[in-house]
Amino acid sequence: MTDIIEIFDTTLRDGEQSPGFSMNVGEKIRLAKQLEKLNVDIIEAGFPISSKGDFESVKEIARKFRKAKIAALARTDIRDIDRAWEALKSAENPIIHIVIATSDLHLKYKLMKSRGEVLDAAVKAVKHAKAYTPFVEFSAEDATRSNVDYLCKVFQAVIDAGATIINIPDTVGYSMPDEFGSLIKNIREGVKNIDKSVISVHCHNDLGLAVANTLAAIKNGARRVECTVNGIGERAGNASLEEIVMALRTRRDFHRCDTNIHTEHIYNTSRLLTHITGIGVQPNKAIVGNNAFAHEAGIHQDGVLKERTTYEIMTPQSIGVFQSTLVLGKHSGRHAFRERLREIGYELSEENINIAFKRFKELADKKKEVFDEDIEAIIIDEILRIPDTYRLVYLNVISGSVTVPVATVQIEIEGEVIQEAGFGSGPIDAVFKTISKIAKTDCKLIRYAVNSITGGTDALGEVTVRLEEGGIQVIGQGADTDIIMASAKAFVNALNRLDYRKKHPIVI
């Protein structure tokens, strides 16, 4: 039997509290829309009393989103609870999330209250919230450094007062997985009325164990987990939503649990968060990092090409990534190189593969990553040595803010110079259309990129174009201090390669 673990996403509350991750109302609504698409069970929208902006965010999210339950944080102060309810009251299923610390360390130095005073405040707060909504969550801040007997006493009291969820946070990421799992087990056995409440956990990542602790809690009976997209949050962050979800999905045989998450939206959700905050994830981040489905080592590439599961325990498509990436570099092997050649349209003989692979290895020792353009240049320079069908003779472009861009071009084709003129939406568009008219081609421009080779206002610019015609794609490159001239050179260079590919069989 597979149990369903509820996902309580706190990206908009705990995640947003971390330095550099603050969001305005519009940004929170955009992310909430994506979280609903991801199918999270609960969205914690904010801490309404903390600011006017947070209040408005919670209010708007509560009003707009009807599928997920909407939660808002409040301390045990009655004013906090009233403010939370004011923001939440239009929600379909509002959750008031009450928090107070229970560790002796926090009681002494932060709250300056006795255990009895904290217990009374917790019960009073839960009863007040219960008058507003049937869904009340109680969190014992710093639970993992609290006295277990006292913790159980508090939980039993707040459940009697009406709490439907009790949350056990590892607030400072202090606990070890076995230790945290045992704590959950002790609470299940030590709180007599625990069957009237859902056990939730909220783990921080100060020692890099947030996900491990969360999974240990699930193994011991937790059925709701609090987490964030990309693992963002205070200090080292929270348990990562995508890592928890995919750990349960990939190892369902071990955990006997799953979630309601639509995993094919995980990657887009991660990307949206990085776009909103401007802070990306490290390349080797599990599940959503750029290298999560990238392979460079030759042994790994060979294995993946023969059977994906040799080095991939989940498919990239399962999280919304189109395909794995074989990164070509100095560690890559012949199998991966041959496969990349096929992908960009070349089937070489073994002799020519040996020639090209030798040049590729020489180039890979100089560059961190070898791109398709580099590989095609190797093929052109070392094997094809394409003769020029087209040669750019003359180019003149007139353009400006009050004139229609027009290009006059002369191209030599097999000894004959042909001249044409043409209009375009811009000077480069005019050049490309005119050259296409002379060459009598209906090729499609797939990619256009400009890079500066040198610095300064007189910089040498390099243009790369990718053209496609009849299912054949080719790369063209050109360089000049005049970017329009560089563009024309690149386009003509690509046309020469396209003409050669159309005239010669693919097997070389």
Residue 300: CB partners within 8 Å, gap ≥ 6?
310, 311
Give the CATH number of domain 394-503. Answer: 3.30.160.270
Question: Which has the minimum average pLDDT: 284-298, 347-361, 427-441?
Answer: 284-298
205-230: per-residue pLDDT in tens? 999 999 999 999 999 999 999 999 99
Identify whether the C-beta of residue 276 lies closer than 8 Å to the C-beta of residue 23.
yes
Q: Is the pLDDT of residue 280 over 60?
A: yes
Q: State the angle between helix axes of 372-379 and 334-343 in degrees (0 to 180), rounded to the nearest 10.
A: 90
What are the domain boundaries of the chain? 3-277, 294-384, 394-503
Question: Which has the minimum average pLDDT: 16-30, 32-46, 129-143, 279-293?
Answer: 279-293
Chain centroid offset of residue 435 CA: 41
Residue 399, pLDDT score = 92
| Residue bearing the bigger pLDDT, 316 or 137 | 137
Q: What is the mean pLDDT of residues 348-372?
A: 76
Res. 508 pLDDT band, cuts 50 70 90: very low
| Residue bearing the bigger pLDDT, 403 or 219 | 219
| Residue bearing the bigger pLDDT, 214 or 481 | 214
Alpha-carbon gap, residue 27 to 360, rounded angstroms: 45
159-192: per-residue pLDDT in tens? 999 999 999 999 999 999 999 999 999 999 999 9
Residue 507, pLDDT score = 44
Identify whether the C-beta of residue 122 lies closer than 8 Å to the C-beta of residue 100.
yes
Average pLDDT over all residues of the chain: 88
Alpha-carbon gap, residue 118 to 157, rounded angstroms: 11
Res. 357 pLDDT band, cuts 50 70 90: confident
| Residue bearing the bigger pLDDT, 263 or 355 | 263
56-102: per-residue pLDDT in tens? 999 999 999 999 999 999 999 999 999 999 999 999 999 999 999 99
Q: Is the pLDDT of residue 329 over 60?
A: yes
CATH superfamily of 3-277: Aldolase class I (3.20.20.70)
